[in-house]
Structure 1
Amino acid sequence: MVEELLWVWRFMRECGVEPSLVSYNCLMDGLVNAAFVDSAEKVFEAMETQGDVRPDAVSYNTLIKGYCKVGKTQKAVEKFEEMQQRKDLAPDKITYLTLIQCHYSECRFYECLALYHEMEERGLEIPPHAYSLVIGGLCKDGKPFEGLIVLENMVRRGCRGNVAIYTSLIDSFAKNGNEDQAMVLFDRMKNEGFTPDEVTYGVVVNCLCKAGKLEKAMEWFNFCRESTVPVNVVFYSSLIDGFGKAGRVDEANKLFSEMVEKGLVPDSYCYNALIDAFGKAGRIDEACALFNKMEKEGCDHTIYTYTIVIDALFRKHKNEEAIKLWNTMIDKGITPTAAAFRAFATGLCLSGKFALACKVLDELAPVGVIPEMAHEDMINVLCKAGRFRHACKLADGIVDRGREIPGRVRTIMINALRKAGNADLALKLVHSKIGIGYDRFGSIKRRVKFQTLLDP
């Protein structure tokens, strides 16, 4: 009720009633809650310059909250620093919590941790929500061990963890490939009397699937189905991905069908997992059928969807179909990633279409997609497949078109040959002028071609 609030404020002043500190703070709080932060800022300035009332910690906290609310983080930090410089007051736990929340929402997790340590140094009481944010930020930043240390500090100070904190830690350890530590925390969570929710169980099932422990994952999945824990798409997606990567495609497909029968709507991650499983198993027709079904069901094809289907088509030597699908993707305005180009270029190189691979690479530069290792990847894949003549032809094409420094292409070729187990050719290249030297034919000077590496 901002209009009424301002009316009362004006009437009070007209009646000669001088506002107290509490009145000023109430007015600022009302303005901040209504997102009138500029007006709240003017009230704060009036407190500093008019009358005997000076802003206190509540005044600063209110304005800092307002700045954070409208995304003016820098101004909030400046007010915080100004507050620290005053001798008559200091930031309290509310000040720190407000800034930690603000930094967390902007994924500035280092700042959250720094504020937490500052609170520790000052001996301030740390609210449970501040612990949750700091631990959550560390987990999102891929630092679960640091998050676990904060949890231990929290418990040592007599503040219990909660389901959300344990779930974040379990998920982060799982994503870092530390399945053992994740499951230790899961057991500890239950032993401490916390009841895991569907998010926690979903994280545990995903963790076990990533670790290849599919039977154990199914045990927890069945436990949830038989109890009151809601089973959602995340459970099925994790299991479909796990079974698919293990080559157990029929079981993955069965889970997908079961999910649809239960009325759950598959998301793009779920579709992609099964399409990838079909593609890796060489069942390209089923992969393409699912790709088309995905579009009919209104589920958007992601760049990853196109990448795995293009890769699967090239694996089955359906090169023209793969190229057509790439062009369709570009026409739809989907920007390729480095991984997408790598899959496409690998297929083109193995099918002998080097010129097209280089042409597509040139076309990607204007849209901001510049795979740094593109040429290296293409030469590596040819050498790995034993197609040394093709690799030399590609290297010559790269140098002739001025796409790479000849010396770098030479280094790439040497490393690729060595990795492919052909040390003799790698040594021959090292002791030759290929790529960087020239041969003279009368008055004509020509660069020594990589293809001469295979001459007797």
Structure 2
Amino acid sequence: MGEDVERIRFVCSKIRKAEFVMNVAAANALIKSFGKLGMVEELLWVWRKMKENGIEPTLYTYNFLMNGLVSSAFVDSAERVFEVMESGRIKPDVVTYNTMIKGYCKAGQTQKGVEKLRDMENRGLEADKITYMTMIQACYGDSDFSSCLALYQEMDEKGIQVPPHAYSLVIGGLCKEGKLNEGYAVFENMIRRGSEPNVAIYTVLIDGYAKCGNVEDAIRLLQRMISEGFEPDVVTYSVVVNGLCKNGRVEEALGYFKTCQFNGLAINSMFYSSLIDGLGKAGRVDEAEKLFEEMSEKGCTRDSYCYNALMDAFTKSGKVDEALALFKRMEEEEGCDQTVYTYTILISGMFKDHRNEEALKLWDMMIDKGITPTAACFRALSTGLCLSGKVGRACKILDELAPMGVILDAACEDMINTLCKAGRIKEACKLADGITERGREVPGRIRTVMINALRKVGKSDLAMKLMHSKIGIGYERMGSVKRRVKFKTLLEIESSDYEF
């Protein structure tokens, strides 16, 4: 391709130097060719040459020019050409509109694409399946699945043939939003309209059922797929296996694993990570490790998901050193990215093994590497610190995250929950007072967290006293000073039946 472009550029340079009479047919051919190859400079030279020679562009000329500009991401220039057409003798047609819509969508300006679609209809032009397909793809890329559905319904109402890929995107979008019934309705409508589903469409729907915990429905759909003559691929089987493993049905998942091996399907890393995770959660760590090593033998690349799944299995079974060895091997031997989830697993495992300082070193390592902590990661750290009596340190680390742009709204609530569950009501009250004093959280939310946490640990009387008090929301006067009633007051009014 590169050699062809250079050859054409050479020929073009000769043409530009030579004197020749250009006609509209030659101009159209050149603009079309240059546009396809992304040779914008040469394309614009032809356009200027046409003007110099008084050659009137045709609709084809404009459309070839628009397509060349859009293909090379010159959307603003294409927009100006479109405006010239609107005010000129030759008006935009469906192809022109589709090209402009494609340009907007490629540039991430989906809303402009929608506006152009509506403008097209207002001018009496009928959008075709290319128009709708372009818009559905763009809306899907923006995770605007409701618009995908609305556009599909427009196509259906207008009797425009819906391509299989459009069905796949609409069904996939609905499944991602957990709207399985709507997704299945689109699937059945597709069949009623005479469109045959394919493996990808079946897989999208099966994946939706599996991820929502409806594994039986996923399996029934898999069986229907097979009975209708479709051969499931490894991706189809892997989503079923993932669903089974998430629901603790590891033996059935292993059965599908054997089916894939028997059929000669190349097992991918997603398939392996699901099985490793399922076996680990079932306490079958040796089998999980065996599968992990088998991946290398089979030439299957081990990604961070596979490493994390096995590390999680190790830490949960008390094999923290094995998890650490895997952590080092992950980066040093295979160059596999250590994710925030990797650190979350190890930090949690270290605290459970009472290796608090090592857990804190891992946290510092993660921050130094520029990996942004998630709420789950900080929860692992703060839980470990709170349970080891280092609430202040957890609060200090939380305060350090704010200047980094990491705001974990529910972090303090999680810490209060942890302390209450551990029976450390005094520390929970102190933390709640600190939050309200700094105005970090709305006192009402903290009260709710405290009330629910106290109930969960069987201290309903204490929860009722908090509910009917002014703690956190009311004020008391000390001379001329007005102060909020603190949570520590709860301890002062509580009877001596409780030990703090």
TM-score (norm 2): 0.82
Q: Of 145, 150, 167, which aligns to 2:181?
A: 145
Paired position in structure 1 for 2:492:
452
For 1:7 and 1:411, locate their aligned partners in 2 and report how far apart those are by CA, in whole Å. 70
Query: Compared with structure 1, are the counterparts of its residues 343 and 61 closer, same or farther at alpha carbon in structure 2 (3 Å cutoff)?
Result: same
**1:420 aligned partner:** 457
Structure-2 change in CA distance of 1:380 and 1:159 (3 Å): same
Q: Residues 415 and 138 (structure 1 numbering): CA distance in 2 closer, same or farther, change over 3 Å?
A: closer
2-side partners of 1:235 and 1:432: how far apart? 54
Distance (Å, rounded) in 1 between the aligned partners of 2:302 and 2:254: 19
Structure 2 CA distance for aligned equivalents of residues 156 and 407 of structure 1:
54
Letter in 2 for 1:358: C
Tell me, in whole angstroms, the C-alpha distance in 1 between the residues paired with 2:489 and 2:371. 37
Task: Give the CA deviation at 1:129.
Answer: 2.6
Match status 1:203 vs 2:203: no
Alignment RMSD, CA only? Answer: 2.9
Alpha-carbon separation, structure 1, partners of 2:280 and 2:82: 60
- Counterpart among 383, 386, 399 of residue 349 in structure 1: 386
Q: Does 1:332 align with 2:369?
A: yes
The 2-side partners of 1:324 and 1:70 are apart by 43
Match of 2:59 in 1: 21
What are the ranges of 5 or more consecutive residues in structure 1 without an aligned counterpart?
A: none
Report the Cα distance in structure 2 between the residues aligned to 1:454 and 1:37, rounded to whole angstroms.
Answer: 70
Residue of structure 2 equivalent to 1:80 = 117
Contact 1:389 1:454 in 2 (8 A): no
Q: Which moved more, 1:214-223 or 1:33-42?
A: 33-42
**CA distance in 2 between partners of 1:19 and 1:77 (Å):** 28
The DSSP-based 3-state class of the residue aligned with 1:185 is helix
Q: In structure 2, what is the Cα distance between the partners aligned to 1:30 and 1:396?
A: 64
**How far, CA to CA, are the matches of 1:214 and 1:7 in structure 2?**
65
Distance 1:229 1:39, change over 3 A: same
Equivalent of residue 88 in structure 2, options 50, 74, 81: 50
CA contact (8 A) 2:315 2:346 kept: yes
Per the TM alignment, residue 59 of structure 1 is displaced from its structure 2 partner at its CA by 2.4
**Paired positions, count:** 453
> In structure 1, what residue type is equivalent to 2:214?
N
Q: Which whole-Å CA distance do the structure 1 matches of 2:171 and 2:442 have between them?
A: 47
Comparing 71-80 with 319-328, greater Cα deviation is found at 71-80
Q: d(CA) in 2 for partners of 1:272 and 1:128?
A: 36
Superposition deviation, residue 58 in structure 1? 2.3
Shift of 1:113: 1.1
1:88-130 deviations in Å (ceiling 9; x for gaps): x322222222221222233222221111111222232323332
Question: Which amino acid counterpart does residue 369 of structure 1 have in structure 2?
Answer: V
| 1:371-390 equivalences in 2 (<5 Å) | 371-390=408-427
Q: Distance in 1 between matches of 2:319 and 2:274?
A: 21
C-alpha deviation, 1:261, in angstroms: 2.8
Go from structure 1 to structure 2 and tell me whether the alpha carbon gap of 1:450 and 1:287 turns closer, same or farther (over 3 Å shift). Answer: farther
The TM-score, its normalising length taken from structure 1, stands at 0.89
**1:302 correspondence with 2:339:** yes
Quote the Cα distance in structure 1 between the aligned partners of 2:280 and 2:248.
Answer: 11
Q: 1:234-383 alignment to 2 at 5 Å?
A: 234-297=270-333, 298-383=335-420
Q: Shift in Å at residue 365 of structure 1? A: 2.1
- Aligned twin of 1:160: 196
Between the aligned partners of 1:60 and 1:397, the Cα distance in structure 2 is: 60
